Amino acid sequence: MTMRTFVADLPHGISLTCRTAARPPAAGAPRVLLLHGFPEAAFVWDEVIGLVGEAALCWAPQLRGYVGSSAPAEVSAYRAKHLVADLVALAALMAQPGAPLDLLVAHDWGGAAAWALAAQRPELLRRLLIINSPHPATFLRELKSNPAQQKASAYMNFLCRPDAEALLAENDFARLWPFLGEPAWLTAAVREQYRATWRGGLTGPLNYYRASPLRPQSGADEALRQIVLDDGSVTVRVPTHVLWGERDRALLPALLDGLERWVPALSVERVPEASHWIVHEQPARVATTIRRLLAP
C-alpha cells in the first residue's frame, strides 16, 4: 500500500508529521491512531497500515521531538502532560465528530503516552492496544525491587547523559544499532529509514528519557525510591489488550505481573518467540490483533 505524509497542526502550537494510507477507506471507517517508540519513527507502522488501511483510517504521527515534527528545546516539554495534550488534540482532529477513537495502538515510548492518555481521558478511546510498553505502576515496582529489570533498564541512564547525542551519532550510529540487533527485518532499506530518522536529530527523542523520573537508581541518587504513584491517577478503565513479545531484553515479562490491579478490563497476548521489535517481526500478527479489536 502506498503511504503519504501530512502535517497535523495542533491548536497549542505543536505540529506533528503523520503517515497514512494514500487511498483513504470508505466513509465511516474506524479510526486508529498508532504511536511509535524509541529509536523509531512513524514508518515502523507502514506494513501494519498496509494490512488494515483499507478497512480503517490509520494515522501514525512522528511524536514531538522527532524529525518532521515540532521539537521543543526544553526537557520539560517532554513530560507526560505535554505528550497527552498532543494526543488529545490529534484525536480531536482524527475522530468522527462526537465519537471517541476506535483504537489507540502504541509501542514503547508511544505506549507511555498512551497509558497516560487512557488513565486521564478515557472518554476519548474505545479500546487500547499496548505493545511492549510497561504500565507506569508495574515499571516503578520492578525498577525498585527487581534486580533483573534494573539491569535491563540500565541503558536509560546512559541515554540521559548530556553527551548522549554525540556518542550515539559516532561511527554511523554504532551505539544505536545494537538496540535493534541484527534481525532479518533490518534490511538495507530499513536501515536507511532509521538513519534518516537519527540524522534528523536525537535530542528530542532522548529528552523523553531525561524528562521521565522512571529510570534505574544511579549511585547514591534516591529519587526513584521517593516516587509514589496514586492508584487513581494511573488506573486505566478503557478496555485494554496487551500484545507482548517475551524475548524483549529491555522490558521483562514480570512487568505484566499484577497488571490487572491497574487495568481491570485487561486481556494479555504473550508471544514467546517475539522480541521488543514485534511490530517489525510480525506485522501480520499485529494487524490481525487490530482487526479483531475493531470487530463489532
CA 156 – CA 214 distance, rounded (Å): 9
Q: Active-site residue 280, yes or no? A: no
CA 75 – CA 206 distance, rounded (Å): 9
Q: Active-site residue 108, yes or no? A: yes
C-alpha distances (whole Å) from 223 to each of 11, 43, 57, 74, 145 are 35, 36, 42, 21, 14
Does this model's pTM top 0.85?
yes
For 29, the domain range is 3-294
**Which one of the listed residues 209, 241, 248, 280 is annotated catalytic?**
209
**Which one of the listed residues 46, 86, 102, 108 is annotated catalytic?**
108
| Residue 240 contacts residue 263 (beta carbons within 8 Å) | yes
Q: What is the pLDDT of residue 143?
A: 96
Neighbours of 32 (CB within 10 A): 27
Domain count, the chain: 1
Question: Which CATH number is 179's domain given?
Answer: 3.40.50.1820
Q: What is the pLDDT of residue 146?
A: 96
| Residue 41 contacts residue 13 (beta carbons within 8 Å) | no
Percent of the chain predicted with pLDDT > 90: 93
**Which one of the listed residues 107, 135, 241, 276 is annotated catalytic?**
276
Average pLDDT over residues 170-185: 96
Q: Cell triple for residue 86?
A: 498532543
DSSP β-bridge partners for residue 160: none
Q: Active-site residue 66, yes or no? A: no
Percent of the chain predicted with pLDDT > 70: 100
pLDDT in tens, 209-265: 999 999 998 876 778 989 999 999 999 999 999 999 999 999 999 999 999 999 999
